[in-house]
Amino acid sequence: MLFRIVSLTSALVWLMAAALPQTGPIPERKPAQTPPVPMEKPPTPLDKSAVPAGKPDIPAPTPATGEIQGPPRPSPTIALESDEEHQACLKELSAIGAIFKEIPRIDDGNGCGIDKPITLTSPLPEIELKPEGKMRCETALALAQWMNGSVIPSTAALENGKIVTINQASTYICRLRNNASTGKISEHARGNAIDVASFTFENGNTIGIEPRREDPTLTGAFQRAASASACLYFTTVLDPASDAAHETHFHLDVLERNGGFRYCH
């Protein structure tokens, strides 16, 4: 009996072993998947309603600078002069013996011009300005006072006689400083300046303005005295020692600076 049970058990194990496969089933591979490519968002059209009516679209940056070009800057305007101060100046200029005439307002644009210009022919009796020059009354008065108070008294030691002519190189002219192509506007363009090139005396001699810082003669002393005393009357004095642009003349102007500052060289 026991033998039969063992035999049946062995047969059952053998049948089960015969029915099982040698290896288990292999799972199928999934096909390779390409990751999805996100679609670009279509550009949003310009909302024309966001632009105020009647105003142009904002201009694109320029290739050269990358900056948006704005409207051109307004040109500077010429300074207005007080009627009261101008009349007081004319009265004083007449009292010192100057010969001049008032002329129409000058406005050459870009800040060049004189609100109340005059043409000066003679700053003092028997002294001519050659050629006659256009300027503000304040400039003419400073020239007359400098000549009367300092230049004429310093000629006594020269033995040339009286000064009869002031030879000027520039009065009013529309230009930048030192005739440069860029930079600040010249005081000549505002009627504030005069360039004195030389003095002619009654004996015919002419003293030209030139580098004389080391000149030991009376002529050198006269020029240095004239240059130094000019700062008592003008707010800017540039002489031949200042730079190459002024080696042949005095530049004298009445530019008003803060605190009454004066520049004299």
Q: Average pLDDT, whole number, for the chain?
A: 81
Q: What percentage of the chain exceeds 70 in pLDDT? A: 71
pTM metric for this prediction:
0.71
142-155 residue pLDDT tens:
999 999 999 999 99
Cis bond upstream, residue 131 (ω within 30): yes
pLDDT by residue (tens digit) across 187-232?
A: 999 999 999 999 999 999 999 999 999 999 999 999 999 999 999 9
